[in-house]
Structure 1
Amino acid sequence: MLHTPYTRWTEDQLPVITAVWVRLDAIYVRVPGAPSHEVATGLDLTGEVPGRLHGWLASVKGDWLGVVDFEIPYEDGRSDKLALVDQLVPASALRPNRDGP
């Protein structure tokens, strides 16, 4: 797990995890005008998925990036998902998940 200067810690020295929603289509943007074709077994990079925020980093221009673990589903609906750990996600693509961790 990536530790940042803005990682908060519990009394037991575990990172504080905050439940968030990750807007996939805000971080995986298609090139405008690029041709598209359906891949039934491809990753579904649309909508929102639950994530676990555990730190923050700032860019040189002052933009905030959350350090987030989340999973991306496949289009074909299979139960396993692509698990991503310690991904830098722009704050604009995150929102609180009030349903839990």
Structure 2
Amino acid sequence: MGKIYQVVVHGLRGERIHIDLCNTEEQMQSMTVLQLKEKIEEKLPQSEGDATVRLFSENKLLDGDFTLLSEYGIQHMSVIRVVERVRGGGMRVLTETTSP
């Protein structure tokens, strides 16, 4: 039996789990963000089909379902964080008022 390539996932509720990705270096190099999301959904059902979560690794958003994990530098035992997406995204502008 070959090496099992894994990542460590930190979930929304603080849980920390290991996700088995694949068995060969070739498979690891062709693994996509979407495939990772599907494997996380199997282990963390609270994130299943939830468009309000995002994945990060080393402060980089894993964006684009068909982007290869290798393009983000993901390798065996990389840490992936599942975070909740904040709605809105606008910036609050504070204005200064002066007294007469």
Superposition TM-score tier, normalisation by shorter sequence: under 0.3
Query: TM-score with structure 1 length normalisation?
Result: 0.23
The structure in which a higher percent of residues are strand is: 1
Query: TM-score with structure 2 length normalisation?
Result: 0.24
The structure with the larger Rg is 2
The structure in which a higher percent of residues are helix is: 2
